[in-house]
Structure 1
């Protein structure tokens, strides 16, 4: 999806307008590479062709993300990690790559295109899902910008 298509879909659930950060490309064009909805709790990441590559959901303000009926947003990280581990063992018992961890111990499910990052709430952590397109799977940590992985 491009930024306009994302805006059209999200207009059904929020009155907030998508903000953008644009980049000047070498050929003189501008590309919307980052967008979002601050109040709705979404940050969106586009490639230089303005195609959606990934998004993050704020653990406090963002919409609830469900995977197979399990809530992933704003949860205790160990609970979501346990669900992801159990799911990987049950559905992909022979696949050692289904469940992976980023360098900081953040779990990710490659079949779901999902990493469950965290964010701070006072002295606690809650889950902040990072969802990405299939083509990003090989190197999500480097393809999506630094803002997708910040723990704040």
Structure 2
């Protein structure tokens, strides 16, 4: 994610307990313009706690509704990343190599700064492996299969 966009984020908290269920970030068309949330037609992207877009280019109220409905639930869905086989603890997924393949991964833990992932279908050496990624991780993780989009 563009770090300037990430800096524009505002937390969206669940009303019942105050847990952050996602963020609103400036929509890409507004990323270079001065940000004025009171401006008519101001749009945001709703992103889950990891930084992956749940709804794009919507009014703030709609973004909040999407995050209430799908923000935390989207974390349990499988995601895709470029990774070697087998994946090793020291693998830097931020800088994928050309010979790496798309692999399905699952998120296992989350804190304020990192998300841990593991292969969805681990090989024997990967069976206990979890790798931390910095947040936002939308440059590393994809919510859709690469076969469906590229």
State the TM-score bracket (shorter-chain normalisation): under 0.3
Q: TM-score, normalised by structure 1?
A: 0.24
